[in-house]
Structure 1
Amino acid sequence: MTSQPDAALVDILRIPEPFISPTQRIIRRIIYAAGALFAAVIIVYLDRHGYRDIESSPEASDPLSFLDCVYYATVSLSTTGYGDITPVTESARLINVLVITPLRVAFLIVLIGTTVETLTSQSRQALKIQRWRSRVRNHTVVIGYGTKGRTAVAAMVGDEVAPADIVVVDENSTALERAKSAGLVTVHGDATKAEVLRLASAQHAKSIIVATDNDASAVLVTLTARELAPNAKIIAAAREAENQHLLRQSGADSTVVSSETAGRLLGIATQTPSVVEMMEDLLTPDAGFAIAEREVTPKEVGGSPRHLHDIVLGVVRNGGLVRVDAPEVDALETGDRLLYIRSADGER
């Protein structure tokens, strides 16, 4: 599939375009037509000594007037022709320029505009696909745009990840339309197939989120993604806890058990609903409090993470997360990263 020409991928790989209303498209076409007409008028006027009006006598050598040049350019660009029936008075020629020509332009727009736009839009889309595939690097691939996938994308966008850096892979056309309307690049296909993931440039991705509807598909997608992208960070969601180890064995760096997490929050809410409210606040990156990660500053090296101004939850050392109360991280080292609670409203 990746070896096919880019024009054959127009219905599979969709790159969002900014919305332009039909009125703006028509106005833009009229401006282009007026610009072409003006350029033709200038060209004819500069070379007006080389033109003769058939109504003039053979002995006359007067150059064309500016109105004559406008008329000549008008009938030439509109493919109307000249020589059979020719307006001879200035009023008739002025009416031809101001009334007849706009009607011809509108006629051409109605008859030809849609067909030409369809052909050119496909060509533009194929060119955009070619440029995108050659340039996309270090992006995020989200496999599955259901409830989990949409929420994951919303969290990333809330953390100021550009929508253009997110690629959604799904077989559901309705879900892909929602992703496209959100400004995301979409790929229509089965993510268990390596060719589909290659279209999403998974081999160049920084991270891959597996948010499929069932665990069997998640395991197979994770295996395929890990084979294509050995260095990418893969985060996979599992519905059942007993399948979590299968996802890790398939190559997932992190796993999230959706059913147990939701059930645990439901149980907590029966006794301490404020805890659930705080958890929701922490998981919402664009408002209230949020969990973030940052590097240790040189001034903080050697100190305890529990004595910092930020509320530190853990320390990431050598790629592993250590709780803040563990004795091995009582003294921070160069290269450590802090997992802390930040104020989203304050930082923005």
Structure 2
Amino acid sequence: MKLPGQDAIARQADEHLTTYKVKLPRRVVTHPLRQVLTRLAMALLVLLTAMFVVYLDRDGYRDGNAEDGEVSLLAIAYYVTVSLSTTGYGDIVPVSDSARLVNILVITPLRVVFLIILVGTTLEVLTERTREEFRLKRWRSQLRDHTVVVGFGTKGRSAVQTLLATGLSKDKIVVVDPNAKVVDAATAEGFAGVVGDATRSDVLLRAETQKARQIVIATQRDDTAVLVALTARQMNRPANIVAAVREEENAPLLRQSGADAVITSASAAGRLLGLSVLSPRAGNVLEDLIQHGSGLDLIERPVIKAEAGKSVRETEDLVVSVVRGHRLLGYDDPLASPLQLTDRLITIVRVTPTPPVAPIRPPKNL
């Protein structure tokens, strides 16, 4: 669904689009010094190959500077170097048919290869910007139904890790953050990143928010989250927007701004603290549910054919709620049973522990 003026905004963003604002994951490249040394070694190999070919047919060449006209090994090295780097000076020339044929079939192609190797580094530098712009245009044209994560701090990183654990690929996640170092850290991990203020529509357009399926807002300030939600909802009506706020009193305002779900980080942490005081083990269970990848986990899955028509308590999994249309029914709600094939179940399951991963430390000055 497009809003009035959205195409004009998109065109304006395209006109001002620059590669330093949108950063794609970079391929693993060789160190520049190693690239230069590799090119020099290849050039030397081409020279030695040409010298070997000329040496085998040295009787077919004449040296105009030598009294007997014979070509020495030094003259061969000189002739090959001059022939590969220029068109030659004519002081050493092929006179036999075999030598001339070797020049046509071997020396000339080697000259082209030699020149390509010498200017390869310069061409690579000159074409780097063009390649990056091409990659960016191709990325933007192929990107759709992705997830935009606004804010790559502690909350944003945890949300991304959870999304990855549920099977979402890295190329379907775009990180938006005003800190260039944070975006660099995201691209180093394989995500596409956009540097800029997400409250601005042009920044969200660079992240292709208008084509996103879901938007995660994990900013450091509640007022920023409200503005981002307003801008994102105006840009993309069908998207599922999930936001985090620090203060519970700001949650209704964020819902009014367009967020489908609002997580209050301060009250959630406070409830976990209070529950841990009253019942440490209950606090451990709740913390286990929050942490993804080990112990107990909350998942949403469809009802299978074998479960259709049965009661909630007759399923193998521990059902917490039943999603029926736009309604969320508790496990003890009389309307939850019998289960329908179109229902979705929110269940508690036990997951296999995953190998420990080194913690990701955000850059300083966040």
- Asked if structure 2 preserves the Cα contact closer than 8 Å seen for 1:187 and 1:196, the reply is yes
Give the root-mean-square deviation of aligned CA atoms. 3.8
Summarize the Cα distance change of 1:70–1:199 in structure 2 as closer, same or farther, 3 Å threshold: farther
- Asked if structure 2 preserves the Cα contact closer than 8 Å seen for 1:7 and 1:126, the reply is no
Distance 1:240 1:303 in 2: 41
What amino acid does structure 2 have at the position aligned with 1:324?
Y
Q: C-alpha offsets along residues 155-190 of structure 1, whole Å, 9 cap, x if unaligned?
A: 111222111111011111221122112111000111
- Asked if structure 2 preserves the Cα contact closer than 8 Å seen for 1:6 and 1:126, the reply is no
Match of 1:328 in 2: 335
* 1:86 CA drift (Å): 4.9
* 1:298 CA drift (Å): 1.3
What amino acid does structure 2 have at the position aligned with 1:307?
E
Summarize the Cα distance change of 1:313–1:75 in structure 2 as closer, same or farther, 3 Å threshold: farther
TM-score, with structure 2 as normaliser: 0.74
**Aligned partner of 2:260 among 253, 267, 272:** 253
- Asked if structure 2 preserves the Cα contact closer than 8 Å seen for 1:6 and 1:130, the reply is no
Summarize the Cα distance change of 1:158–1:138 in structure 2 as closer, same or farther, 3 Å threshold: same
**Aligned partner of 2:20 among 11, 17, 37:** 11
Determine whether 1:200 maps to 2:207.
Answer: yes
Summarize the Cα distance change of 1:82–1:172 in structure 2 as closer, same or farther, 3 Å threshold: same
Summarize the Cα distance change of 1:189–1:331 in structure 2 as closer, same or farther, 3 Å threshold: same
Q: How does 1:150-299 map to 2 (within 5 A)?
A: 150-299=157-306
SS at match of 1:338: strand
Distance 2:174 2:273 in 1: 32
Summarize the Cα distance change of 1:210–1:32 in structure 2 as closer, same or farther, 3 Å threshold: farther
- Asked if structure 2 preserves the Cα contact closer than 8 Å seen for 1:7 and 1:122, the reply is no
* 1:346 CA drift (Å): 8.0
Q: C-alpha offsets along residues 10-69 of structure 1, whole Å, 9 cap, x if unaligned?
A: 10000102323327745775697699x59x97xx99xx9xxx84549xxxxxxxxxxx99
What amino acid does structure 2 have at the position aligned with 1:12?
K
SS at match of 2:309: coil
What amino acid does structure 1 have at the position aligned with 2:325?
N
Match of 1:60 in 2: none
- Once the two structures are overlaid, the 10-residue window that deviates more, 161-170 or 119-128, is 119-128
**Aligned partner of 1:148 among 142, 155, 159:** 155
Q: C-alpha offsets along residues 184-224 of structure 1, whole Å, 9 cap, x if unaligned?
A: 10001111111111110001101001111111111111011
Distance 2:337 2:77 in 1: 84
* 1:297 CA drift (Å): 0.8
Distance 2:340 2:143 in 1: 35
Q: C-alpha offsets along residues 243-272 of structure 1, whole Å, 9 cap, x if unaligned?
A: 111111111111100110011111222232
Determine whether 1:134 maps to 2:117.
Answer: no
Distance 2:261 2:343 in 1: 20
Summarize the Cα distance change of 1:236–1:278 in structure 2 as closer, same or farther, 3 Å threshold: same
> How many equivalent pairs are there?
312
Match of 1:94 in 2: none
* 1:321 CA drift (Å): 1.9
What amino acid does structure 2 have at the position aligned with 1:9?
T
Distance 2:344 2:354 in 1: 19
What amino acid does structure 2 have at the position aligned with 1:164?
D
- Asked if structure 1 preserves the Cα contact closer than 8 Å seen for 2:242 and 2:261, the reply is yes
- Asked if structure 2 preserves the Cα contact closer than 8 Å seen for 1:159 and 1:286, the reply is no
Match of 1:301 in 2: 308
SS at match of 1:132: helix
Determine whether 1:20 maps to 2:26.
Answer: no
TM-score, with structure 1 as normaliser: 0.77
Gaps of 5+ in 2: 1-8, 65-74, 95-106, 356-366
Match of 1:82 in 2: 88
- Once the two structures are overlaid, the 10-residue window that deviates more, 178-187 or 19-28, is 19-28
Summarize the Cα distance change of 1:72–1:343 in structure 2 as closer, same or farther, 3 Å threshold: farther
Match of 1:317 in 2: 324
SS at match of 2:144: coil
- Asked if structure 1 preserves the Cα contact closer than 8 Å seen for 2:146 and 2:211, the reply is yes
Gaps of 5+ in 1: 57-67, 89-96
